[in-house]
Structure 1
Amino acid sequence: MRFAVDTGGTFTDLVIEDADGQLSIYKSPTTPLDPVRGILDAFQVAAGDLGCDRRALLAGGEMLFHGTTRGLNAVLTGNVAKTALVTTEGHPDVLVLREGGRTGIFNQRRAYPDPYIPRSLTFEVGERIGAQGEVVRALDRRHVVEVARTLREHEVEAVAVCLLWSIINPAHELLVGEVLAEELPGVPVTLSHQLNPALREYRRASSAAIDASLKPLMTEYIAGARARLAEAGFAGRLLMMTSSGGALDASDVAEAPIHSLNSGPSMAPVAGRFFANHDAVSEMAIVADTGGTSYDVSVVRDGRIPWTRESWIGQPFLGHMTGFPSIDVRSVGAGGGSLARVDTGGMLHVGPESAGAVPGPACYGLGGQRPTMTDACLVLGYLDPDYFLGGRTRLDLEAAQRAISEHVADPLGIRVHEAAAAIYELATEHMVGAIEEITSHQGIDPSRAVLVGGGGAAGFNTVAIGRRLSCPEVIVPVMGPALSAAGALISELARGFEVNGKTSSDAFDFARVAELIAEIRGRAEEFIGAAGPSIISSGIEFSMEARYPNQVWTLEVPIDEALTTTAEGVAQLVKAFHSAHLETFAVADHHAPIEIESWHARARCQLSDPQPPVMEAEDGKPAERQIYLPGKGWRAADVWRLADIPVDSVNHGPAVVETSTTAVLMEEGARFTRKASGTLHVVPAGAAGPAQARTWAHGSTTEGTV
């Protein structure tokens, strides 16, 4: 058996793949102060359902994939190690000056954001490497020793090192790392050229600072999780999900914890791509993962998942840029636990603040007093209070009504169900806005895409969002309530490698490029060689980052490494770049040469051969209950259990389809069918249905694909 666990802000999702390849979902409330306890609680729920002992269940596991927001939450709350930055003399403000850009350009009252590491913990060393790798000013080892001893006096817990042009010649950065290891034994150090050999200094420094600050925390967390899982009976391989859409051994993530920052959300598009290929027609997919705290959106085009280096922790330009390649996922604070309130001006707000797992929505009966979207959906009839989590938890309808009445309905002077509908509609609009930001704002037409709904709270809004965006089809996979965890079981063991080596197509340095390609190929092969015997297959994919002369930004373009060995091959590289530039920006200069800045290799090791789930066909009948539809009022709606819907039969809304982990609202006018895989396929009201031919749109501004 294989397990996948995704620790969210409200629920911990567990997906189990048995010996026959069948998947099952289990959920348990997240325990924020002790996430491993939440994981073990989820296994306890699974053991009870499967009729076995938890220890026996864990002992039968070969692999456990783990996604966690532990590192992300630590950065957001500032609960990280006391970290110092060592940089080149004369350049101590790299984290202060950042990169240009701001939100609200006319708002002069917003304070300039603080650097990730304060200036008081930034230390300079006298050295200088030139842009061609030449030593302009030699590094004095004695000076580094003095700096290290000063760091000891400051009792720093981690150190990030980012020296100028270390990506071209790392000798000085390596020497600093050597001295720090001698003078500060046990204090973790991150060298920027090893972690993120990117050209842009701020991004390199920022990623090194974030990574170093997380090392003590994540090393302790991973070691503790491994020990407690072993104590509970698990003796298999522990893998951590990464923000780049793959998985790494837990020990590798402990050495570079920045990989884990957006590990959970990055897996949803991996699973969304799989289910869209199997159960939908449209070539492009919008993958939306609705949790208790956030709404995470990504786009899959032509089978490719875009990635970006411009991932921010917190608000863009106000938070901190990771500078590290990750799946391009946009998030807004809208989920099942998003809190609703009315401000002093009489304006309704939903999110971004969340009730979280503790105290949770008012209807959970755990002490929450403020209304959430989950409370609103319960009041509107979309949730059965006696069937939440398959009946393991009973929801308190009266508590939800009281919370909405006190905090929304009474301040607005409307009835409770009207207030609940307003909460629902506003949350839906926030979600639509998140999708528009990553689609129509980037020249992508959502009316050509299938909307894939994932997350435990996905069923409330997904069909309504599909209607608002004119999507021809919407699918909610049977594994949708744990989409990220399901994506982990589908994912590969993967890691990217990068090396800088600038050249141009009209003066191509064949010998130098051959050395660089050989270097990253060797590192990728070493990674594959250490992957273990459980892999099914492996491969290496190459790409280049290039631009037109005098451009500021680069594009990553997949390449065949053999093209770098001949003049004819270089011409093909130029042609590939023109095509990528045309696709991304709708313009290309076919007569211009290109400048290639860096070379990349991504090693992939396939761990499984994923198969779509198969749900037994039933021929049940629906029940009926009253639900409230915004703008339409109370309606009698069919209430189906997913397993009771006959396969491929066409059904019509209004209806609610329930499973033990979610409830899907079918609006009036929507048509829905259940696929053999258990996926709900929906044609929203007013949509003609999916096109017979697969189509996809041009116009993304993301930097690469997975």
Structure 2
Amino acid sequence: PVFMIESGPAAGVIASHALARAQGILNAITFDMGGTTAKASIIENGALNTAAEYEVGSALSLVSRLIKGGGHLIRVPAIDVAEVGAGGGSIAWLDAGGALHIGPRSAGAAPGPVCYDQGGAEVTSTDANLVLGYINSDGLVGGGMPLHRAKAEEALRRQVAEPMGMTLMEAAYGVHLLANSSMMRAVRAVSTERGRDLRDYVLIAFGGGGPLHACEMARSLEMKEAVIPPPSPASSAPSACWPPTSSTITSRRISRRLRKSTSPASTPRSRPSSAMCAGCWPPKVLRPKPSRSSATPTCATPGNPPS
């Protein structure tokens, strides 16, 4: 079961990797914004980054042990994904000093944002995006899920705008920018904090809210281009059905402390036993045949949001 942790975000990275290959993009940053968290990964020279261990359960969950987030260490192979607690359902709140924060608490799918009108009472980044006009006020799912802009405006005015002495639009845009700032932590964790120059990378944004924030984030990070896959809200799902496979065989050996005179060349190396490998190689993989789609990705410069 431990291998299933973060398998959903990893599937989204695999989908972005396939899109990057199809578009001839060698260096890219993947950005996946969901309801509770935002995830980022890096593609360099056309290849995914992987590691033998990663952290979960911290304010910034990531693979690299060079940047320790204080989470739980899990020593299994994983795709390099950094994750922060900021998403579409992240709650905007004021601390005792009157400073505005976003997340890590989330309204979730139930009761959800105030605009869902399903019992949610705390303002979220989705409510702010609706007030700003970034989300179609006619509703989601082709109008099957109506959104209540008036309720979002009233909650945002009462909880953020009036306490901070702002107009409604200033408060909404402040929540939007603060959400961007929080999510950019994940992007920087896999790039600039490891010595990469983001000006050399393309941002691939997907997930339920990724395209809403992609161009603003790309502009702030000085990235030259943002790419939006056609089925961006569901990019992770199909790639989970036919991902590339690999097998990792590890073994544990307990031995006495080697003497100082022992040379590295004479040190016995641990290798998998034939009993451990019996029946597990080569791996047998069954995959559904992927369907073809005529849809094409949308590319946009940071200054011009995709149409």
- Determine if the TM-score, normalized by the shorter chain, exceeds 0.5: yes
Q: 2:125 aligns with which of 360, 363, 373?
A: 373
Code of the aligned partner of 1:614: S
**What CA distance in whole angstroms lies between the structure 2 residues aligned with 1:299 and 1:684?**
19
Work out whether 1:412 is the aligned partner of 2:30: no
**Residues in 1 aligned to 2:43 and 2:79: alpha-carbon distance in whole angstroms:** 11
Q: Does 1:516 align with 2:283?
A: no
Q: 1:463 to 1:486 in 2, by over 3 A?
A: farther
Distance 1:370 1:417 in 2: 17
Report the equivalent of 2:25.
282
**Structure 1 contact 308–326 (Cα < 8 Å) conserved:** yes
Q: Find the aligned partners of 2:94 and 2:40 in 1 and give their Cα distance.
A: 27
| Corresponding residue SS for 2:104 | strand
State the alpha-carbon separation in 1 of the partners of residues 283 and 102 from structure 2.
48
From 304, 308, 311, give the equivalent of 2:54.
311
Contact kept in structure 2, 1:289 and 1:483, CA below 8 Å: no
Partner residue of 1:452?
204
Give the match's secondary structure for 1:292. Answer: coil
1:368 to partner: Cα distance: 0.5
Asked if 1:269 corresponds to 2:27, the answer is no
Give the Å deviation of 1:507.
1.8
Whole-Å Cα distance in 2 between the matches of residues 505 and 467 of structure 1? 54
Distance 1:317 1:274, change over 3 A: closer
CA drift at 1:508: 6.3
Aligned equivalents of 2:28, 2:273: Cα separation in 1:
36
- Is 1:282–1:448's contact at 8 Å kept on the other side of the alignment? no
Q: Is the 8 A contact 2:247 2:283 kept in 1?
A: no
Decide which of 335, 340, 347 is 2:99's aligned counterpart: 347
Distance 1:282 1:508 in 2: 45
Distance in 2 between residues matched to 1:317 and 1:432, nearest whole Å: 16
Distance in 2 (alpha carbons) for counterparts of 1:530 and 1:441: 37
How far apart, in 2, do the equivalents of 1:505 and 1:497 lie?
26
Q: Report deviation, 1:529.
A: 5.6
Secondary structure at 2:142's aligned position in 1? helix
Separation (CA, whole Å) in 2 of partners of 1:388 and 1:367: 18
Query: Separation in 2 of the partners of 1:451 and 1:317?
Result: 24
Counterparts of 1:354-369 in structure 2, within 5 Å, are 354-369=106-121
Question: Aligned equivalents of 1:482 and 1:470: distance in 2?
Answer: 27
The SS at the match of 2:105 is strand
Larger Rg: 1
Distance 1:367 1:418 in 2: 25
- Are the equivalent residues in 2 in contact too, given 1:278–1:612 (CA < 8 A)? no
Give the alignment of 1:431-446 within 5 angstroms: 431-446=183-198
* Preserved contact between residue 379 and residue 400 of structure 1 (Cα < 8 Å): yes
CA distance in 2: counterparts of 1:368 and 1:329, whole angstroms: 30
Q: Which residue of 2 aligns with 1:531?
A: 284
| Aligned partners of 1:408 and 1:419 also within 8 Å | yes
Deviations along 1:231-255, whole A, 9 cap, x unmatched? xxxxxxxxxxxxxxxxxxxxxxxxx
Describe the shift of the 1:505–1:356 C-alpha distance in structure 2 as closer, same or farther (beyond 3 A).
Answer: farther
Matched, 1:682 2:300: yes
Q: How does 1:247-258 map to 2 (within 5 A)?
A: 257-258=1-2
Instruction: Find the residue that maps to 2:227 and give its secondary structure.
Output: strand
1:472 is aligned to 224
Matched with 1:613 is 293
- Regions of 4+ moved over 6 Å: 501-506
> What secondary structure is seen at the aligned counterpart in 2 of 1:388?
coil
Q: Which residue of 2 aligns with 1:55?
A: none
Q: Show the counterpart of 1:119.
A: none
- 3-state SS of paired residue (2:176): helix
Q: How far off its partner does 1:339 sit?
A: 0.5
Q: What is the match of residue 82 of structure 2?
A: 330
Q: Which structure is higher in RCO with an 8 Å CA cutoff and minimum separation 6?
A: 2
The amino acid of 1:325's aligned partner reads: P
Query: Which residue number in structure 2 is paired with residue 163 of structure 1?
Result: none
C-alpha displacement of 1:307? 2.3
Given the two structures, how large is their TM-score scaled by the length of structure 2?
A: 0.85
The code of the aligned residue for 2:33 comes to T
Matches within 5 A, 1:71-90: none
What is the rounded CA distance, in whole Å, between the counterparts of 2:72 and 2:284 in structure 1? Answer: 32
Q: Is the 8 A contact 1:337 1:373 kept in 2?
A: yes
Aligned-residue CA RMSD in angstroms? 2.7
- The amino acid that maps onto 1:516 is R
Which structure carries more strand by proportion?
A: 1
Deviation at 1:463, TM superposition (A): 1.1
- The alpha carbon displacement at 1:395 in A equals 0.1
- Describe the shift of the 1:319–1:436 C-alpha distance in structure 2 as closer, same or farther (beyond 3 A): closer
Tell me how far apart the structure 2 counterparts of residues 265 and 458 of structure 1 sit (CA, whole Å): 13
Percent of aligned positions that are identical: 32
Separation in 2, partners of 1:469, 1:265: 22
Quickly say closer, same or farther: Cα 1:500–1:508, change in 2 above 3 A.
farther
Q: 1:507 aligns with which of 251, 265, 274?
A: 265
| 1:537-548 matched pairs, under 5 angstroms | none
Aligned partners of 1:500 and 1:399: how far apart in 2?
A: 58
Secondary structure of 1:289's counterpart equals strand
Deviation at 1:390, TM superposition (A): 1.6
